[in-house]
């Protein structure tokens, strides 16, 4: 992007995008900002409340718990999906029919509507009539994800691994495909071990795509809503109530618009911070 | 040891296919068989679930509604993203970097945060329960996505192409449509595919913005589940049918899918 010329008229080219996205982003965002500083007793009468809701949310144990669950979920999911995705990509055939077969089959979970992903795992894991739940119980493991918090977490994580590991694998595969054969031949002549090839040839070449994969997974797992909502509904109890599930419960379930608005903004700021890091990393990669 | 490496992707793919197998398996069973006892494959193979969905308009209209707003959204997103992506890949202008980041931040906006304000916004302008409303709302994350993917592809086209065309006296729009667009045809295909896909899989906003006339298939599924007890066979068949569009188009973009997911940056 170095040879670009300065041309202020380019604004006309981006104007439609700014109008369309701005309409969808700014009006709802300002609505949320309005809620976050006001109190209502119904009848569309609102009173200005300042930062009361923000203080309330920041100090509420409920928000802390949801945030902790969210961070735990994201950490576990990343710790499983990234190594697994890289391992699958390394072992995948590089060319030919089998490479295409792998790519198509592995992409399948990515293309299923999110509520259907939740529904699939729900019926797959049902302890009495689902394939997974029935098999586990038959094998002597007491498993019921609708009642045991640990089982609910395990199912939730298995679902996310099932849903999104392919994204990491596809990106890592794209990075690996970009390595010229000459690199491998040179490594072979030097008598390098498989580990040495991975450490000094493959990993450096995958660095950029892996950064993208990690950050995308971080952000998307942070925003996850539909799949856990359909799978467990946040239960049993509050065991799997992640941030966005809690947010929707407050906003639409209890109609507490003030706290929900304040929580939305805090949530959005966290995501914005992550996006900024993501953007920096991506543009740094391009500058190299 | 080297010969065993194929086992890793093979086992992984088996893991991926098991839940999908279970879904398909249930879709060919009667609800009584599903609820009765565990059977690893259908004992009384039936197509009744699929027949019901494909003949009952409350069911198949869900798919039609979803397809309508997904297609409108895809066309709209790619159309506005094309000139913008060109501007980002070719020119520097005041605030370009900030604008690019602002666009990206919308791709990261959690739908749960926006669900209620979206409902109020589209109710206020009288578009609630129309296909256009969902198509417009999905632009929030699809337009930035399309801009990013297209910008990645466009930056791969040498700038000399533009300069030569201008020297030859092509006016801008003629150059853009006749020369530039064909040069990035693959990128347009990938961007369209990803817009299609993300609009297809997103259902929180789609459900929030519709009630009857533009009800997406997901809403039909949840509402039927509560209305007529728990017809699992029917739900499984409906779920299996939602996989079809993705499975159908994926073959064409298999070599570009990583590029799309990395927002055009691989």
- List, as ranges, residues 65-104 from A with C-beta within 8 Å of B: 84, 87-88, 90-93, 100, 102-104
pLDDT digits (tens, 9 = 90+) for A213-228: 888 888 888 888 888 8
CB of A287 less than 8 A from some CB of B: no
Q: Which of B83, B104, B200 is the closest to A275 by Cβ?
A: B104
With respect to residue B210, please indicate whether it lies within any of the assigned structural domains.
yes
B246 with A173: Cβ contact below 8 A: no
Domains of chain A: 61-287 (1.10.3720.10)
Which pLDDT score is estimated for A217?
86
B14 with B118, same domain: the answer is: no
CA-to-CA distance for B205 and B199, rounded, in angstroms? Answer: 10
CB B46 within 8 A of CB B109: no
B14 with B71, same domain: the answer is: no
Q: What is the mean pLDDT of residues B29-49?
A: 79
Contacts of B201 in chain A (CB under 8 A): 111-114
CA-to-CA distance for B109 and B116, rounded, in angstroms? Answer: 14
Whichever domain contains B143, its CATH number is 1.10.3720.10
Which pLDDT score is estimated for B77?
95
Provide the residue range defining the domain that includes B74.
56-261
- List, as ranges, residues 24-63 from B with C-beta within 8 Å of A: 26, 34-35, 37-38, 40
With respect to residue B164, please indicate whether it lies within any of the assigned structural domains.
yes
How far apart are the CA of B233 and the nearest CA of chain A, in angstroms?
Answer: 11
How far apart are the CA of A61 and the nearest CA of chain B, in angstroms?
Answer: 20
CA-to-CA distance for A198 and A283, rounded, in angstroms? Answer: 25
Which two three-digit tokens encode residue A226? 């539909």
B139 with B9, same domain: the answer is: no
With respect to residue B185, please indicate whether it lies within any of the assigned structural domains.
yes
B127 with B36, same domain: the answer is: no
- Percent of chain A residues past pLDDT 90, beyond the cut: 11
With respect to residue B213, please indicate whether it lies within any of the assigned structural domains.
yes
B173 with B252, same domain: the answer is: yes
* This prediction's pTM: 0.84
A188: alpha, beta or left? (left if phi > 0; alpha if psi -120 to 50): alpha
pLDDT digits (tens, 9 = 90+) for A222-271: 888 888 888 888 778 788 888 888 888 877 777 777 788 888 888 888 87
B109 with B220, same domain: the answer is: yes
How far apart are the CA of B102 and the nearest CA of chain A, in angstroms?
Answer: 9
Report the run of H or E that residue B105 belongs to, with start and end. Answer: helix B96-107
B133 with B71, same domain: the answer is: yes
Q: Which residues of B121-143 are buried (b: 16+ CB within 10 A; e: fewer)?
A: bbeeeebbbbbbbbbbbbbbbbb
- List, as ranges, residues 121-180 from A with C-beta within 8 Å of B: 121, 123-124, 128-132, 134, 162, 165-167, 169-171, 173-175, 178
pLDDT at A76 over 90: yes
From the list A248, A142, A148, A18, the residue with the least C-alpha distance to B115 is A248
B99 with A32: Cβ contact below 8 A: no
Which pLDDT score is estimated for B264?
64
CA-to-CA distance for B104 and A278, rounded, in angstroms? Answer: 10
B93 with B142, same domain: the answer is: yes
pLDDT averaged over chain B?
84
Indicate the range of B5-9, B181-185, B259-263 predicted with least confidence: B259-263
Place of tokens 């009006």: A27
Q: What is the mean pLDDT of residues B48-74?
A: 88
Domain total in chain B: 2
Which two three-digit tokens encode residue B17? 């296919």
User: Which of B34, B63, B116 would best serve as a mutation to test chain A binding (most A beta carbons within 10 A)?
Assistant: B116
Q: Which residues of A130-141 are buried (b: 16+ CB within 10 A; e: fewer)?
A: bbbbbebbeeee
B75 with B206, same domain: the answer is: yes
pLDDT digits (tens, 9 = 90+) for B81-110: 999 999 998 888 888 888 888 887 887 777
How far apart are the CA of A54 and the nearest CA of chain B, in angstroms?
Answer: 15
B1 with B76, same domain: the answer is: no
With respect to residue B181, please indicate whether it lies within any of the assigned structural domains.
yes
Which pLDDT score is estimated for A1?
45
With respect to residue B266, please indicate whether it lies within any of the assigned structural domains.
no
Q: For A113, which residue in chain B has the nearest alpha carbon?
A: B201
B137 with B156, same domain: the answer is: yes
Contacts of A188 in chain B (CB under 8 A): none
Within 13 Å and on the Cβ side, how many CA atoms surround A103? 25
Which two three-digit tokens encode residue B100? 């690019």
How far apart are the CA of B148 and the nearest CA of chain A, in angstroms?
Answer: 12
With respect to residue B191, please indicate whether it lies within any of the assigned structural domains.
yes
With respect to residue B51, please indicate whether it lies within any of the assigned structural domains.
no
Rg from Cα positions in chain B: 22
Q: For B3, which residue in chain A has the nearest alpha carbon?
A: A91
* DSSP sequence for B18-49: HHHHHHHHHHTS-HHHHHH---SS-SS---HH
Which pLDDT score is estimated for A288?
46
B222 with B251, same domain: the answer is: yes
pLDDT at B13 over 50: yes
């Amino acid at each position: 992007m170095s040879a670009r010329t300065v041309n202020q008229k380019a604004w006309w080219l981006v104007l439609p995008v700014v109008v369309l996205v701005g309409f969808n982003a700014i009006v709802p965002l300002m609505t949320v900002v309005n809620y976050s500083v006001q109190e209502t007793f119904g009848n569309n009468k609102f009173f200005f409340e300042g930062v009361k809701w923000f203080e309330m949310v920041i100090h509420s144990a409920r928000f802390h718990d949801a945030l902790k669950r969210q961070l735990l979920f994201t950490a576990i999911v990343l710790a499983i999906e990234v190594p697994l995705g890289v391992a699958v990509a390394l072992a995948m055939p590089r060319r030919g029919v089998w490479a295409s077969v792998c790519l198509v089959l592995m992409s399948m979970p990515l293309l299923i509507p999110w509520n259907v992903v939740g529904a699939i795992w729900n019926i797959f894991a049902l302890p009495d009539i689902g394939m997974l739940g029935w098999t586990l119980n038959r094998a002597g493991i007491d498993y019921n994800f609708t009642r045991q918090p640990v089982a609910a977490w395990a199912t939730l994580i298995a679902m996310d691994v099932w849903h999104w590991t392919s994204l990491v694998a596809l990106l890592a595969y794209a990075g690996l495909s970009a390595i010229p054969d000459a690199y491998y031949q040179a490594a072979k002549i030097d008598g390098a071990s498989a580990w040495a090839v991975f450490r000094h040839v493959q990993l450096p070449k995958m660095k950029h795509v892996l950064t993208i994969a990690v950050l995308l997974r971080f952000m998307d797992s942070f925003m996850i809503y539909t799949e856990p909502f359909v799978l467990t509904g946040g239960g049993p109890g509050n065991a799997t109530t992640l941030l966005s599930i809690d947010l929707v419960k407050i906003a639409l379930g209890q109609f507490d618009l003030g706290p929900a608005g304040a929580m939305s903004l805090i949530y959005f700021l966290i995501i914005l911070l992550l996006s900024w890091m993501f953007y920096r990393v991506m543009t740094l990669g391009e500058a190299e | 040891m080297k010969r065993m490496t194929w086992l890793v992707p093979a086992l992984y793919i088996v893991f991926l296919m098991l839940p999908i197998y279970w879904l398909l398996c249930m879709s060919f069973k009667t609800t009584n068989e599903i609820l009765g006892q565990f059977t690893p494959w259908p004992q009384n193979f039936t197509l009744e679930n699929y027949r019901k969905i494909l003949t009952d308009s409350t069911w198949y209209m869900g798919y039609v509604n979803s397809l309508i707003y997904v297609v409108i959204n895809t066309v709209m997103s790619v159309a506005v993203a094309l000139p913008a992506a060109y501007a980002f890949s070719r020119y520097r202008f005041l605030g370009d970097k900030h604008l690019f980041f602002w666009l990206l931040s919308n791709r990261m906006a959690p739908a749960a945060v926006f669900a209620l304000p979206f409902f109020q916004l589209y109710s206020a302008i009288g578009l609630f329960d129309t296909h256009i409303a969902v198509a417009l709302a999905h632009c929030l994350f699809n337009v930035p996505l399309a801009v990013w993917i297209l910008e990645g592809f466009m930056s791969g086209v040498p700038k000399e192409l533009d300069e030569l065309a201008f020297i030859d006296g092509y006016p801008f729009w003629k150059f853009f449509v006749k020369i530039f667009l064909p040069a990035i045809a693959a990128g347009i295909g990938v961007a369209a595919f990803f817009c299609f896909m993300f609009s297809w899989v997103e259902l929180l906003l789609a459900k929030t913005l519709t009630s009857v006339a533009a009800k997406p298939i997901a809403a039909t599924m949840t509402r039927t589940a509560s209305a007529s007890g728990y017809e699992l066979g029917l739900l499984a068949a409906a779920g299996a049918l939602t996989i079809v569009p993705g499975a159908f188009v994926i073959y064409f973009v298999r070599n570009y899918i990583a590029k799309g997911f990395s927002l055009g940056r691989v």
